[in-house]
Amino acid sequence: MSYSDEFYISLIGEVFDGYSVSTFKGRDVFVKHINLRDQKYLNTYYERYKDLAISKGIDTEEERSDYVKEEGLWEESDDMEIASLETETQNLKKTKQSLFLPSKKEALQKTIDEKLLELYKLKNQRAEVVGLTAEAYANRRSADEMLRFCFFKDLKFEENLHTEDEFGELESDEIAELNIRLGAVTDKMSEENIKHAVLKPFFSMYLANCENPRDFYGKAIINLSVYQMKTVMYGRVFHSIFQYTDDIPDNIKEDPDKLMAFSENQRNKDSNNGGVKDDADASAVFGATADDIKKTSKSGNSISLSDAAKEAGGKLDMKQMMRLAGHDV
C-alpha cells in the first residue's frame, strides 16, 4: 500500500528522532524506537520469567512436547512435518531469488504461500495440544514488559509512563489501548513503508550518505534504533542499484520490490550471458511469456521461440537457435 509524501516524510522524521509521539488518557506520550541494548534488556526479562515459571512448576516446551507424544496427543512425525515445511519454504524463497523470469517467480510465490499456510495451521495445532509452557509464559510477560518499556513521559526517556507496579494495576482495556498505540507505531515503521520512504524524491539527497551509519546519524551504531539501521541499510541497497544497474524504467524507480527484482534480473542476465554478443539485437528465453519478454528485454527485440519456430516452418535447427540467442554462426 502506498501513502502520501507527507506520510513518508513524517515516517523518516520519526526515524531520525528515534521516537514517535502518541496519546494515552488525553496526554502526549513518547514511544521509544528500541535499539540493540533494549533488545538485550528485553531478552534478559524473558529469561527471568522463564526461570520463574519453571520454579512454579510449569513445564518447559521440551517437557510438554515429550508428554503429549507419550500420551499419543501429538506424533513425532508431526514435528518432522513442521521441520520439513520450514526447510522447504526457506529453500523455495532462495530459489525464487535466483529465478530470472517474473512469471516463474510469481508461480513459485503461490507455492510458497500455500506451504506457509500449511505450516501456520500445523504450528497452531501444536500450540493448542501442548498448552501453556514456561517459554509461552515468558513470551507473554516479556511482551507486557515491551509494552511498558516503550512508553515514556519525557523525550529524554528517563521516566517510563508506568512503573512495574503501576503497569500491574492497569485495567485490561487500558493495556489494550497501549497495545493499539504501539501497534500503530510498528505498523507505520514497517519494513515495507521504510523501503518506500527511502525511494521517495525527498530522500534522494540522503541516499549517497547512507554508507556510514555513524556519520549519517551522528552517534554510535550500538545506539541506533532498529528503524534507523533499516533506513540506512535500504538507502545503501538502492543507492548501489541506481549506480550499477543500467536502463532502469522510470515507472519502477519508486517501487522497491520491482526495483530490486529488476536489478536481480539484470545481474542474472549478465551472469548467464556467456558468449552472447553485447550488441545482439535479439534474445530468446525458454519458457518466457510475452509479459516476461517485455519485463526482461532492454531493447524490446526479444523473440518468442514458438513464434520463431512457426516462421521457420515448425521447427528450428541448431544454427537458427544460436542466431536467435545472438551468437555468430
Can you tell me whether residue 30 is helix, strand or coil? strand
Tell me whether residue 138 is in a domain. no
Q: Are residues 195 and 216 in the same domain?
A: yes
Distances (CA, A) of 174 to 25, 152, 153, 177: 9, 16, 16, 5
Tell me whether residue 233 is in a domain. yes
Tell me whether residue 143 is in a domain. no
What pLDDT, on the 0 to 100 scale, is given for residue 290?
63
Q: Are residues 284 and 264 in the same domain?
A: no
Q: Are residues 268 and 286 in the same domain?
A: no
Of 272, 296, 311, which residue is a domain's last?
272
What pLDDT, on the 0 to 100 scale, is given for residue 280?
45
Q: Are residues 250 and 300 in the same domain?
A: no
Q: Are residues 199 and 223 in the same domain?
A: yes
Q: Are residues 311 and 266 in the same domain?
A: no
Which conformational region is residue 180 in: left (phi greater than 0), alpha (psi within -120 to 50 degrees), or beta? Answer: alpha
Of 245, 272, 299, which residue is a domain's last?
272
Q: Which helix (H) or strand (E) holds 185?
A: helix 172-188
Q: Which residues of the chain have pLDDT under 50?
A: 275-283
What pLDDT, on the 0 to 100 scale, is given for residue 199?
96
Is residue 155 a contact partner of residue 19, using CB atoms and an 8 Å limit? yes
- Residue 256: Cβ-neighbour burial (10 angstroms; 0-12, 13-18, 19+): buried
Q: Are residues 268 and 278 in the same domain?
A: no
What pLDDT, on the 0 to 100 scale, is given for residue 50?
93
Q: How many domains does the chain have?
A: 2
Is residue 226 a contact partner of residue 286, using CB atoms and an 8 Å limit? no
Q: Are residues 206 and 236 in the same domain?
A: yes
Tell me whether residue 292 is in a domain. yes
Of 272, 296, 314, which residue is a domain's last?
272
Tell me whether residue 309 is in a domain. yes
Tell me whether residue 235 is in a domain. yes
Distance CA 132, CA 60 (A): 9
Distance CA 48, CA 27 (A): 32
What φ, ψ does residue 35 adopt, rounded to 5°? -120, -170
- The predicted model scores a pTM of 0.69
Tell me whether residue 221 is in a domain. yes
Q: Are residues 236 and 198 in the same domain?
A: yes
Q: Are residues 253 and 223 in the same domain?
A: yes
Q: Are residues 268 and 282 in the same domain?
A: no
DSSP state of 200: S
Tell me whether residue 42 is in a domain. no
What pLDDT, on the 0 to 100 scale, is given for residue 282?
45
What pLDDT, on the 0 to 100 scale, is given for residue 192?
92
Q: Are residues 206 and 265 in the same domain?
A: yes
What pLDDT, on the 0 to 100 scale, is given for residue 42?
86
- Domain residues for the domain of 262 are 190-272
